[in-house]
Structure 1
């Protein structure tokens, strides 16, 4: 961990997905930002590997699965979205993995930019959403300075988040 978690009310929990309203059924959400390194022995002042925007939401009883269906629909209905003039991100659903009662994995591909213009590369960001009962956690791997998300690392952090929720609910 490069820095302690910072709790930030009001931060985006998910991308906009073409204006989809996904918050209508949410009772309470808490978000934090986690900056991380992949190794525990990183040198002082070393650039982090990435940043997670992590949230946990409590939904009305029996409604979290509807929210997950709405999320899937929002991603499918918004395969491409302009995020700045001349700059668009692409979204798609991937197999969510075996997490919680259900899980969704969203891939966001965004173009790389250098000195105000497009570059030849693109970045891949992953967002894992895990539902356990009426609780949903979102793990949005934001990368760091040109780094794409590492699926193995996202899977590892997802397992940790899932276990934390299971422990909390017990």
Structure 2
């Protein structure tokens, strides 16, 4: 299964913008997918978490639709996005930096997408994957979540992974949502069999807050290869648009 060289892939990816049309439909609640492997879910699926309504004592069910997630244009889509469990989608570095850790979460859901480069033949392996989680909050929960993530990352400059050391660098993303953060993970490169290879590889985590929601997108290259860091801004803007379209 052939994969273009990294310079060629970077050039091809520059031809496309990730922020395009948004998917229709909905995700399962809290990232738990009891029908994993089943046909696509209907257009809306309520989550199990409920938040008290401001105007009554009746609990209001919060639903996270598929339109809240990043979509890929057809030429970049390797396969149909699939629901996954939040616990599997959220990256783990030194600890549980991206866990919510609070009662202000009213719902959570996660999706996994595989992507390719434009014009790739069907037999080629994917370029990489996006593991995305969306959380809905009440009150100041969304802002509190970003503060907890930043505090945890300040204590996590590196962590061990399969006998190697992964370095962690985080930086703010300006003009993205209400608040946004980009985390770059750099690790020694390995071959497909896990043996050491020359150079390093990267993956990136984009965290975007907009109104009462936060999304975490983990962009990873296929089988341990690098993602494309040049696409970080496009991923962040697409993630913000997804949250915005849902909360309008």
TM-score, reference length from structure 2 = 0.62
Match for residue 110 of structure 2 among 10, 14, 31: 31
Match for residue 128 of structure 1 among 191, 206, 227: 206
The reply to whether residue 51 of structure 1 matches residue 129 of structure 2 is: yes
The reply to whether residue 8 of structure 1 matches residue 87 of structure 2 is: no
Deviations 1:12-54 (CA, angstroms, capped at 9, x unpaired) = 3122333447321233211111101132x32111222111101
SS for the counterpart of 1:46 is coil
Contact 1:88–1:111, Cα closer than 8 Å, also in 2: yes
Contact 1:32–1:54, Cα closer than 8 Å, also in 2: yes
C-alpha distance in 2 between matches for 1:116 and 1:152: 26
Q: Which is greater in Rg?
A: 2
The aligned residue for residue 148 of structure 1 is 226
The aligned residue for residue 22 of structure 1 is 99
The aligned residue for residue 83 of structure 1 is 161
Q: Number of aligned pairs?
A: 168
Gaps of 5+ in 1: none
C-alpha distance in 2 between matches for 1:17 and 1:60: 27
Match for residue 185 of structure 2 among 108, 115, 134: 108
Gaps of 5+ in 2: 1-76
Contact 1:103–1:131, Cα closer than 8 Å, also in 2: yes
Match for residue 42 of structure 1 among 99, 110, 120: 120
Give the superposition deviation at 1:156. 1.5
SS for the counterpart of 1:129 is strand
The aligned residue for residue 164 of structure 1 is 242
Give the superposition deviation at 1:6. 1.2
Match for residue 151 of structure 2 among 73, 83, 86: 73
Q: Cα–Cα, structure 1 residues 76 and 60, in superposed 2: closer, same or farther, change >3 Å?
A: same
TM-score, reference length from structure 1 = 0.88
* More moved, 22-31 vs 1-10: 22-31
C-alpha distance in 1 between matches for 2:98 and 2:237: 28
C-alpha distance in 2 between matches for 1:24 and 1:121: 36
Give the superposition deviation at 1:3. 0.3
